[in-house]
Structure 1
């Protein structure tokens, strides 16, 4: 697809989202985010991206930026830029600054990543100012110990629009791809703004972020997409107070990850009353053998939004997912889970629930392979010991 076609498609999408925000029926489902930000989880064929995406202008998407604004405009453009950013480097920490208006030393996130010395043992904090950065970003294995510091996940975001078809594979479609170890992201959103596909559409998977490095941390982050939003690929990862939106398999991969106090929001189409069809799934974990120490644990989370969804699908035969102390709305199907329509996986998958609440947490009609965990069985999944957090987590935050 040509650059012009991509640009026009995105403009149409943004305009439609703008109309949806202003014309949406007030009886539809609303989500309150961190007390001071409200937006609609749309039930149409459009994603519910934060309002920051509406302020992004076509002229900023593909033009080249100068390193600094013109001197005649610097006073007006950068008047509100925070003082003391970036702070001076220390013995253990280096700072880089990104601002798309040119008020920092970098106007793109990728340029800042490229400037980090290879195999640096210092923590490099990349301070990213408010706005949408429309670019595809890669953090290679040679760039460990990087932090993306945004200004709030409803204010700062990185967006791109690749799909499995355009990127030659789902795994390569991520707007952001992280292969380095000890990566941290705080108060920033990751988005894939490709058009939302119909269920089962070939080549339409669109990843917002792929996390393939070990010991990664996400604090107060947002993840926005539809099918395959968050590719939790491999390694040990920690997510706290994050907002994750999608429709089908929107948390997938073979990571060993703990999700605490996160919001999991389905933007699948509403299912008409009386119909029993399933049109979404939260997870698709990819553990392929009993020798792999991987799995997803969701603790003190909430599940809401639209559609009728499964908590997980057994993407691989030893898929392992636990939901504990989680509030589930009635969009969760009574059977709860799916064995990928392969009954031979029923004996090897590990799907457990522990002390969950809400209309969707009723286990009386759960699939027979689902485990109702007792205190002892649930304990290994309830805190950061599940990801060996005592060995690395505090030093990364």
Structure 2
């Protein structure tokens, strides 16, 4: 009987090695299918007592004067509304999902279809206009369905330390107004055609999918002062065409909305949608800082690039956010 423990130990060791050898993709990711403790609950179908039928009504219940930490959980559904987030304390919005690690399993969509000319301004056309600092959203789709013909914003992000995890932003022209402040986008999806990521935030796009649904420029940075820390950093992201769209060579990485635009694509996959010139013009007299480092794919060659600033060092989060640091982002993403 003395040999049994050794056999058992060998079996345990063998099983351990098999588990370690399993591919990472087989590890089940977390789901979020019920409200975290303390969250207000939004449900647009079969709303129960104590719940809210819209995101707007839940935000109204929170008010705009409290500084307490708050959260809102949204059940599956399409919510046709325009909302402004102006809560004074830290606020997190969670969408129902069976896989928190990706936008691909999102079941919550907030949508509207108003253009900037009709609304009176870019901010007012936004499906969701976020002016709060210390804000986070998980697994929510934000859509402006207006389509071609005018600027129409899905989200205006206009606050410091705003973070989006596994979210999707969909529009055509001016989809995501990353307007100002330190911002973090992780495992997100951004879709559009013309200047669809624009503004002057210090924004990090990590492991995101940037998908064009028409020809045009992806970014339009409005940085115009040399002391302005504004910078768009695309890190380990994928630049491609939206599903069902063929755009070989019709997409530019950016054009300068203001004269000192600053953007870098680093360690990312650039598909054949990217035009060989890489970057194009907008603001007269612009001297943009456009950088590319360590990218791969059919659109990654820089031999014919215009306006390219040479760089040999990747941008870091600490460099991007010298004042805010990195403690405010969810490092599990």
TM range (shorter): 0.7 to 0.9
**Counterpart in 2 of 1:312?**
254
- Kindly indicate whether residue 77 of structure 2 is the aligned counterpart of residue 143 of structure 1: no
Match of 1:324 among 252, 257, 266: 266
Residue 165 (structure 1) shift: 1.8
* Distance in 1 between residues matched to 2:199 and 2:225, nearest whole Å: 14
Shift of 1:382: 3.2
Output one character per residue of 1:196-222: Cα deviation in whole Å (capped at 9) or x when no partner: 21xxx4xx1110000111110000000
Q: CA deviation at 1:123?
A: 2.0
User: Who is 2:296 aligned against?
Assistant: 357
Corresponding residue for residue 370 of structure 1: 308
Q: Partners in 1 of 2:159 and 2:290 — Cα distance?
A: 25
Structure 1 position 345 matched with structure 2 position 273: no
Gaps of 5+ in 2: 1-24, 27-31, 98-102
Task: Give yes or no for contact 1:327–1:357 (8 Å, CA) kept in 2.
Answer: yes
Shift of 1:118: 3.3
Following the alignment from structure 2 to structure 1, what is the Cα–Cα distance between the partners of residues 37 and 238? 40
Deviation of 1:115 (Å): 1.1
RMSD: 2.2
SS at match of 1:337: coil
What's the offset of the Cα at 1:144?
Answer: 3.1
Question: What are the ranges of 5 or more consecutive residues in structure 1 without an aligned counterpart?
Answer: 1-33, 36-80, 90-94, 269-278
Judged with a 3 Å threshold, the aligned counterparts in structure 2 of structure 1 residues 182 and 396 are, in CA distance, closer, same or farther, namely: farther
Offset at residue 121 of structure 1 (A):
3.3
Shift of the 238–133 alpha-carbon distance from structure 1 to 2, 3 Å rule, reads: same
Tell me the distance in 2 between the aligned counterparts of 1:223 and 1:164: 17
Task: Say if 1:100 and 1:107, in contact at 8 Å, map to a contact too.
Answer: yes
- Residue in 1 aligned with 2:128? 176
User: 1:241-256 counterparts in 2 under 5 A?
Assistant: 241-256=187-202
SS in 2 for 1:165: helix
Match of 1:99 in 2: 43
Q: Do the aligned partners of residues 340 and 186 (structure 1) sit closer, same or farther apart at CA in structure 2, a change above 3 Å counting?
A: same
User: Any idea what SS the aligned residue of 1:113 has?
Assistant: helix
| Contact 1:179/1:212, CA 8 A, preserved across alignment | yes
Q: Which residue does 2:211 correspond to in 1? A: 265
Q: CA offset at residue 138 of structure 1?
A: 0.6
* TM-score scaled by length of structure 2: 0.81
Query: With structure 1 as the length reference, what TM-score do the two structures score?
Result: 0.68
CA distance in 2, matches of 1:341, 1:121: 40
C-alpha distance after superposition, 1:134-164 (max 9, x if no partner)? 1001112x43311110024431110011101
Residue 3 of structure 2: aligned partner: none
Which structure has the larger Rg? 2
